[in-house]
Amino acid sequence: MTKTLTIRDQVYRKLVAVKRKDESFSKLFERLVESTRAVDTLRNLRGCVEFRDKERMLSEIQALRAERRL
């Protein structure tokens, strides 16, 4: 099934700029929709999570990072 979308010229130029050479617009849209940056995810979660022991959580994160570096 295909759909026709109407977009402004400025938006089209931006999409062409990020579209890969071997990529269709459908694949581009799919990639853009499915790729959520971690920062965006964290921003969306802001205020939704309550940390009971922030210091302990941070020390556990640092310990896990140290393990990965070994």
19, 25 contact by CB (below 8 A): yes
How many domains in the chain? Answer: 1
Q: How do residues 5-17 score in pLDDT, each as one tens digit? A: 898 899 899 999 9
In a domain, 53, yes or no: yes
Q: How do residues 33-68 score in pLDDT, each as one tens digit? A: 777 776 776 776 677 667 788 888 889 889 989 888
Residue 49 has which token pair?
């999570």
pTM recorded for the entire structure? 0.49
Residue 26 structural domain: 9-69
In a domain, 3, yes or no: no
28, 15 contact by CB (below 8 A): yes
In a domain, 49, yes or no: yes
In a domain, 1, yes or no: no
In a domain, 50, yes or no: yes
Residue 52 has which token pair?
């009971």
